[in-house]
A and B are shown apart, each in its own frame.
Chain A
Amino acid sequence: MAGQTDPHISLFSPQEVEFMAEDELVQIVPNMNMEPLNFISGDFGRFVPQIPIEVPLWLAVALKRRGKCTFRPPGWLSVDNLTQILEAERESQSTFQALPFSYVEIARLLFDHARDDIPDMYMVRSLVEDIRDVRLHKLETNLGSFQGTSAVKISNVSAMEVNLVRPFVRRALEAFYKHDKPEADADRDTRSSRQPREANNEPRRPLRQR
């Protein structure tokens, strides 16, 4: 069950990214009575019909599947708001709009499990897909103009986006850093730590190229 991802390929698997998103709180409206649930992850409830309540996404999905509640979609997941975001994303080539860190995963889980609770579901879904595509394209383009070799700020980039570009960016920045190091440091490096690094049994880069 607790499968591990190869730390060299991608740090977190898509399932693990989704796992983290499932802890985000969402609003639901229960249609049954239930005593408070005292979970390890926190206390939720009590549940009273027609009284909205905030619960983690995984719990909301579990209740929804059994027909015990309806979702209140988060405010950002509306046609109006998404249309605005999409326009703003298209307008600026360098900045990203503020969206929840796990917006892709949250939207996806809601589309899969709560389609009848989202007004204009098809419109909303296609907007989210457009936003995702525009952002990914922008992110790829922006990778070409990375500045700085020790710290690069990435504002408003989401969990899935970080995970996608991580392997590439990590290797690129490692290479920048290596070539940018001051001479003295490079000398010291050759003497003291180059050999151990050669002996490191991590996969060699040329072998990993496809």
Chain B
Amino acid sequence: MASNSDLGSADFETLASTSDVELLKRAWRNEKAAPEILPYEAALIERAKGQIELVEENIEDYVENGIDPLVVSLYQMDLDRTQFLLRSYLRVRLLKIEKFMFHNLKSEEAESRLSEQEKVFAKSCADDLAKHFEESVLLKLPENYQSVLKQSLISEVDDMVPQPHLDTFVVCRSKNFVSLNLYEEGESPETVEMERGDLYFIRYKIVKGAIESGKIDLI
């Protein structure tokens, strides 16, 4: 929901002309290609679920009413394709939650990217893993080394928490003209200008904002 509300009016127009399946495909591709977990597309997923349920009911009706089996099988194929996208999207997210569970729960910002169910899942995963580590190893170590999150008590940061590698490179395609800063602040400013449809190998951090605002798609 959050990602939809802050779209500008120009983006809204392209959104309005795009079907939910297209949006779901985009969300799925971005989620698969991004190194970190992206904000949950709550509104879109709700709509997709609703449409899937509707079509499932329709198909049952068609079968009962003796509609041409060819037509029924075509509707079924369309349904299968949408369901695949939805399932795959949710599973990629579960994979990422499992991989970065402590990281996802560490900050509010990271946690806000998860759906309610995903939060529950992440918490129970993290609790179980922490409990397992403690019982099998950590509690048998000297006191200074018993934290799940830190190598030892003298560590300043949580250095045993796997984090997504944001300096990695992704492939992206721009939908419209965009100009992006190549480097972070404090360094020599240099921009890259993308025309509509241009393909780039680019550092994830550079396009992170543009992906979340819907200007750029990962491929």
Contacts and interface: CB of A to CB of B under 8 A. Distances in A.
Contacts of A80: none
B19 A41 contact: yes
B199 A154 contact: yes
Contacts of B160: 199
Interface string A191-210: 01001111111100000000
Interface in A5-24: 7, 11-12, 19-20, 22-23
B16 interface: no
Given A169-B201, A173-B201, A200 B163 contact: yes
Interface residues of B, number: 58
Interface string B64-83: 00001011011101110110
A181 to B, nearest CB: 9
A162 B171 contact: yes
A146 to B, nearest CB: 9
B165 A155 contact: no
B51 interface: yes
Interface stretch (A32-40, A70-78, A86-94, A117-125): A32-40
Interface centre among A40, A166, A170, A201 (most CB of B within 10 A): A40
How many A residues touch the partner, as a band? 35 or more
Contacts of A192: 157
Contacts of A152: 200-202
Interface stretch (B7-15, B85-93, B111-119): B85-93
B175 to A, nearest CB: 14
B33 interface: yes
Interface of A: 1-2, 4, 7, 11-12, 19-20, 22-23, 34-35, 37, 39-42, 58-59, 62, 66, 68, 150-157, 159, 162, 166, 169-170, 173-174, 177-178, 182, 185, 192, 195-202
